[in-house]
Every structure is written in structure tokens, then in C-alpha cells.
Amino acid sequence: MADEFLLLPNPKDARLVERVRGVDQNGTAIETSVVVERPLTLFLNSREIVTMMTIGDYPEYLAVGYLLNQNMIGEGERIIGVDFDTELSVVVVRTDRTTNFEDKLRKKTLTSGCAQGTAFGDLMEKFDKVALDRAARLRTSWLYRLLHKINTAPSLYLEAGAIHGCVLCQADRPLVYMEDVGRHNAVDKIAGYMYRHGLSASDKIFYTTGRLTSEMVIKTVQMGIPILVSRSGFTAWGVDLARKAGLTLIGRAKGARFIVLAGEDRIDFDADARAVADEDRRTRRKSGDDAQ
């Protein structure tokens, strides 16, 4: 199944996880995996932009995606180089001409993102201009297969928890799976991957483990992806923005259940939810029997 992915988390990467000793609820000595977080400083040309806390994988994708999603690289500006210094934990993104990021920094406001999530005062300018593909479709049979594949794929979440995941999908195939301590970092890594590899967005589905907040909706729309799915819940502003942008917004997607609060016209209900629920129960029972 892992062969379906273009990119997967590597929970065995020694840089990303540490083994730590402790005790459990009974006072018994245990050893468990914990996620490592480290600072990464981002420069745009010769100017320092931000220091982010991240697990440290794919810094180039994170840097490019951050700048794109914060609208710090606009139309007519082209990335000509991305350099990462491992020892200094610094990544430098170079463009072909000077950007106007100073004005954007003056308009910075905090969002509800974990850790260092930010948005800028003119973030909605690009949001309002995006036209999502109305012809994009999501079959519920695809959705159920995607949820199964994502939930059973190797991940830092299964290894250590305390992390968010985002997955770029097409039809019933998960393509790019990114994780990080902040959900906005995971989103930005995928945005950076799409930009660097020239992936189109109009036929893609975006899955996240995080809440469907205004920030998550804005970033998905800016990336041009028409369908957003989460196993978590919604915020009212997130729903309002999704409806305004014509984004299909699906939350609380677990097992055979999900809720659609925007863009339900893109969904083909071609799977029997009761049959999916029965199969899910059989699988859990079999797993329990095998464990015994």
C-alpha cells in the first residue's frame, strides 16, 4: 500500500523521534517514543522572516510553502533557489527580484494555528480571487478508501503521537503525506511540494488531522484545492469562508461517518455507509482476535 504514496513520513528516522524513559499509571518503568522539535530560521533573500518550530524534515518544502501561503511571494515573483544549512538550521529562499514582505510583516495578525500560525492583513485579497474547479468530484467510496489507507500508513502519529498530519490525495489515492508539530507546517510542506514539483491542484483532495479553522480553509483555497477533509471538527468562520469560496468542506470523518457543511454538490454518494460500518466492525474484531 505504501507504494501508492509519492512521499510518506518515516517514523524510523532517528532525527525525528527520541526514546524517553518514564513510568506508566501503575508506576511501572516504561520507554516511549516522543517527537523531536527544533527551530528552523527562514530567510527570504537577505532578510530574516521567521523562526519556526518544526520536526525538521523537508525544510525546503516548508520554507517555500510558508512563503506562498503567507502571500509573501506574489504574482510575477519567481523562486530561483532554495538553500538549507544543516548546521545553522537556516533555509534561504531566493527570488528573482525584491519582494514587498516588509509591508506584509507590519500587517501581521495571529491565527488559531498551533505554535506559530500567522496570517497577514491582506491574506483575503488572494482568497477572494481564487476560482475553485466546480467540476471536481468526490465519491464517497474514494473517501472511505482514502481514510483507511491514511490511517494505516506508517506515520509519526502512530509511532509517537503529539503531531499533526496532512495528505494530498487524488481520487482514492493518497499522494503526499506530511507531518509536523503544527498543522500549518504540515500544510505548508505540501504547498511547497506542489510548487516545486509542478503539481496541479484542481483535481486534488486535501486531508488533515487538524480542525477546520479559517486558517485551514484559507490555505486550502489559496492552494487551489477544491475539497478539504478532516477527522476533526469545524469552526463557524471556517464554514462561512468555505461556503463563500465554493470549497467542499467535510469534517468528523472517521470510520463510515462524516459531515459535510459546504460544497456538498461535488459529492457522489456511491457507497453504502452501513456496509462500510459493518466491514469496519469486522476488521476491528478480527484485529482483536488476532492480538489475542
At 107 the pLDDT is 53
pLDDT score for 79: 94
| Residues present in the chain in total | 292
Q: What is the pLDDT of residue 292?
A: 35
DSSP 137-177: -EEHHHHHHHHHHHHHS--HHHHH-S-EEEEEEETTEEEEE
Res 97: pLDDT: 81
271: CB partners within 8 A, 6+ apart: 139, 140, 141, 143, 144
Burial of 186 (C-beta count, 10 Å sphere; 0-12/13-18/19+): buried
Determine the pLDDT at residue 115.
Answer: 45
Q: The pTM is what?
A: 0.88
- Determine the Cα–Cα distance for residues 50 and 43; give it in Å rounded to an integer: 7
Contacts of 200 (CB under 8 A, 6+ apart): none
Ordered by where they begin, the domains of the chain are 138-287 (3.40.140.10)
Per-residue pLDDT of the chain in tens (292 residues, 90 and over written 9): 566 899 998 888 889 999 999 999 999 999 999 999 999 999 999 889 999 999 999 999 999 999 998 888 877 789 999 999 999 999 999 998 877 665 565 555 444 455 444 554 556 667 888 999 999 999 999 999 999 999 999 899 888 888 999 999 999 999 999 999 988 999 999 999 999 999 999 999 999 999 999 989 999 999 999 999 999 999 999 999 999 999 999 999 998 999 999 999 999 999 998 888 877 777 666 655 444 3
Residues 86, 188 contacting (CB under 8 angstroms)? no
Q: Within 10 Å of residue 185's Cβ, how many Cβ atoms?
A: 28
Burial, 114: exposed, middle or buried (Cβ in 10 Å; 0-12, 13-18, 19+)? middle
